[in-house]
A and B are shown apart, each in its own frame.
Chain A
Amino acid sequence: MDEIAVTTVTKATDCFLKLQGICKSFPGVRALNNVHMEIRKGEVHALVGENGAGKSTLMKILSGAYTKDDGEIFWQGQKVEITKPRDSEELGIAIIYQEFNLVPQLSIAENIWLGREPYINKSVHLIDWKEMYRKTSELLRELNLDIDPKRSVAGLGVASQQMVEIAKALSLNAKLLIMDEPTSALSSNEIDQLFSVIQNLKEKGVSVIFISHHLDEVYEICDRGTVLRDGNYIATIDPKETSKDELIQLMVGRTLDQQYPKVVAKRGVEALRVEGLNRDGVLYDINFSAYTGEVLGIAGLVGSGRTELVKAIFGADPIDSGKISIFGKEVMIDSPQIAIKIGMGLLPEDRKHDGLVLGLSVKQNITMSSLDKVKKHGLLHLKVEKMRVMDFIDKLRILTPSIEKQVQNLSGGNQQKVVLAKWLSSESQVLIFDEPTRGIDVGAKVEVYNLMNELVENGAAVIMVSSEMPEILGMSDRILVMHKGCLVDEFSREEATQELILASAMGVNINDKHNND
């Protein structure tokens, strides 16, 4: 703690950390392109941008989880190299992820001093528990927290666990604290408490990088901010001078140059109707309908409940109340089995974890949900199955050397087509695509879009959850927007713009603008 007290002497306007020309590529993707950022001593600095703007990648470079391809990092005027988490820690950078790095079974004190326990005697590694608890109490007091250091972390609420993380960072003499979406799991009271702690840290001369999707919070707590978009540095802003509308403009600013092969089909009958769907703490009073011949886009920020919504509809997650009807008939969907039986199919967000059995063949994955259709006298008719699979491989142009090939050997695009083939084989009428083109190269993306067009033309209803704004705008006939577990807005294809969707996804009220459109 002594060190922090000493460093407060330096002036608050000093450029404390400077990132210059940071580039980072992953095979096939340019995640960061010539990014620039400056953090002053003792300031709370917002890092804002849409999903996939490069915020996480940039912070992972600062914390040593990734190494930059190009660019320079200056720490208190000195050029430094951060190649591993250890480097970052030694400089005094601490990062608090959304998923905490705590061992639930251990006590608060044990967690804070894990691997750095104070010893009674250095040669005999006997832990000095008294000292450890004393130092922990001191840290907790600094954060105005009244918790027993001996309590196990498992029993603490999210807010207190976060405080333990902050205490740990302080114990490491952190001079720069990076907080990734720190308020996402907190109640408004807890957010106030967090902000007062942040204020407190600021006064001690600790700089904070604050990553948040909630612009209100940015305006409340941050001194300055950096805007990223599609991996590029866009601007450094001062909340006192930049309005929310202007900020949103900076965040989405891209022109819609990507081409989407959208074919507008004729809207048919109501295929799915959701009424009053609730899941405690996750989804609140969701009402909407999806029609055949239509792509219904669901937009929203990461964590707004989009995936949870489609999983609930599909029977993969439990619901607390609500009615679901398929083609006018009310159904109780309490398992994916039932959802599939009545004609639904889900292409999950995490293809490898939820969509495919990677170790099984293309054939086995495609017919997994439709084995009844290739049966004869109760046994699988392997020839019929093979023909059916070959048919889908042709139709969807799945590139695989053989139908017996393990799916894990296929490219992302072809894997996604296998998942789609699975639902086509089970003759699904309502298809839910959750992040349909994630991890797929550009060529395969267009193919997936074309398949979507074909599906709706042939009378299927498609629901598409996507974090990619251009994709939502380019492919949807109608767009629903979610924010904090609620459906907050609906736009037609014609009226939707990036700014409108982003504003409503961030919970910003720009009704006047809405009316103008």
Chain B
Amino acid sequence: MTNTTMIDKCEPKEKSSKATIGALIGRYGAILGLLFLVIFLSITSDVFLTGSNLSNIARQATVNAFLAIGLLLAIITAGIDLSVGSTLALAMCSMAIMAIKWGVNPYLSMVVCLAIGAFMGWINGILLTKLHLPHPYIATLGTMYIYRGLSLVITDASPISGFDRAGASEILFLGAGSVGPIPVSFIVVVVVYLIFHVILTHTSFGRHIYAIGGNVSAARLSGINVKKILVIVYTLSGLMAGLAALMLAGRTNSGFPNAGSGYETDAIAAVIIGGASFSGGSGTIGGTAIGVLLIAVLRNGLVLLNVPTEWQTVAIGLVIIGAVAVDVLRQRGQSQ
């Protein structure tokens, strides 16, 4: 025991230069990538910098922006939430059934949408902490299928559209409305991001999730109620999926059972690009915002540059691998 600590003590000098490079890439890589992309697209495309295109990017980034918050929280605790896309679909379809098929008050329907999202997340948290499933990957992989399946069941596997025709136009406001040139959804994103920034940096809850992700054993022995915090984290992730469902329903004027399918990967990529580490204990809301923007700009740019859809998919795949490579690089810089 003595020897290991002693050896550790000797090492920091040698690794400091590597650590700085790693930290630099970790901290500024995403911003640099985003800047590079923006400059490149401004030069190569006439449309990119137009107001309508920018507001289009903002609108399209919304759903991923909310899902990414949930994943950021989960990933800081060294976990993952694979069920966000399915949770989104289940919340969205439930709201569509209520507002369109049953004629329930649109505001009540919206509240139920959020509540269902939160409840699905809470189930994930309970599965993780009470059933002692070995890793959140398992619990949320299972619920990813379950929630998706339930969405198909309650909608008979077909979309339910027409909030406006059903007299529930209020639901459209969040996802499709705008204040002047600025989409309402974008404003909501900004507000929610600010709130989560405060939560992560200025509350005990925020501190605790970093501690749990950094070293769950030390966190427990420091008196942190690990199970309770994890349940809250996954509940919040579900709530964010519910919020994303509101936005997507507003934008598409419908609820459809395949909504959000595969969205979890975009959200994971955004969080990792934003500097969080899969090994837990790190990640910021600002970084995640940049990650979300980078992916949105990339998708938009590929369309503007007329890259065929097949190749767009390849490009997104490369970004995900690149994002994890960045994570590895930073890890190596930090711990050697």
Partner of A354, one of B203, B218, B281: B218
Chain A's nearest CB lies how many Å from the CB of B19?
9
Q: Are A341 and B223 neighbours in the complex by a CB distance under 8 Å?
A: yes
Chain A, 391-438, CB within 8 A of any chain B CB: 408-409, 411-412, 422, 426, 438
Given contacts A360-B281, A364-B211, A382-B202, A348 and B3 within 8 Å (CB-CB): no
Q: Contact between A358 and B207 (Cβ–Cβ < 8 Å)?
A: no
**Chain B at the A interface: mostly helix, strand, loop or mixed?**
helix
Interface size on A, residues (CB 8 A): 44
CB-based contact B2/A29 at 8 Å: yes
Q: Indicate if B235 sits at the interface (CB-CB under 8 A).
A: no
- The answer to whether B224 touches A337, judged by C-beta atoms less than 8 angstroms apart, is yes
**Within 8 Å of chain A (Cβ to Cβ): is B217?**
yes
- Asked if A359 lies at the interface with its beta carbon under 8 angstroms from chain B, I say yes
**Chain A residues closer than 8 Å to B217, beta-carbon distance:** 353-354
- Residue-wise interface mask of A (358-386) relative to B, using a CB-CB cutoff of 8 A (1 in contact, 0 not): 11100010011101100100111010000
Chain A residues within 8 Å of B224, by CB: 337, 368
Question: In angstroms, how far is the closest chain B Cβ from the Cβ of A30?
Answer: 11
Contacting chain A: which of B4-12, B41-49, B292-300?
B4-12
Chain A residues near B4 (CB-CB < 8 A): 439
**CA of A287 to CA of B9 in the docked complex: distance in angstroms?**
40
B221 to chain A, nearest CB (A): 5
Q: How far is the CA of A98 from the CA of B76 in the complex (A)?
A: 36
The answer to whether A356 and B218 touch (CB under 8 A), given A409-B12, A439-B2, is yes
Interface string of A328-358 (1 = CB under 8 A from B): 0000000111011100001010000111111
Q: Is the CB of A357 within 8 A of B211?
A: yes
Question: Contact: A27 with B214, CB < 8 Å?
Answer: no
Chain B CB within 8 A of A28 CB: yes
Task: Please name the residue on chain B nearest to A381 by beta carbon.
Answer: B202
Q: Does B124 contact A (CB under 8 A)?
A: no
CB-based contact B210/A379 at 8 Å: no
Residue among B3, B201, B214 making CB contact with A359, cutoff 8 Å: B214
Q: Are A369 and B222 in contact (CB under 8 A)?
A: yes
Q: Are B221 and A359 in contact (CB under 8 A)?
A: no
Residue from the list A360, A368, A412, A422 in contact with B5, Cβ < 8 A = A412
Complex contact A337–B225 (CB within 8 A): yes
A357 pairs with B214, CB closer than 8 A? yes
Determine whether A96 belongs to the interface, using a CB cutoff of 8 Å to chain B.
no
Q: A379-B203, A382-B202 are in contact. Are A354 and B221 (CB under 8 A)?
A: yes
CB distance from B206 to the nearest CB of A (A): 8
A316 & B221 in contact (Cβ 8 Å cutoff): yes
Bound form: Cα–Cα A336–B207 in Å: 18
Chain B interface (Cβ within 8 Å of chain A)?
1-10, 12, 198, 201-204, 207, 210-211, 214-215, 217-225, 281-282, 334-335
Return 5 A-B CB contacts under 8 Å, by A number: A26-B6, A336-B220, A357-B214, A368-B211, A369-B223
Q: Which 5 A-B pairs have the closest CB atoms?
A: A26-B3, A439-B5, A357-B214, A340-B223, A27-B6
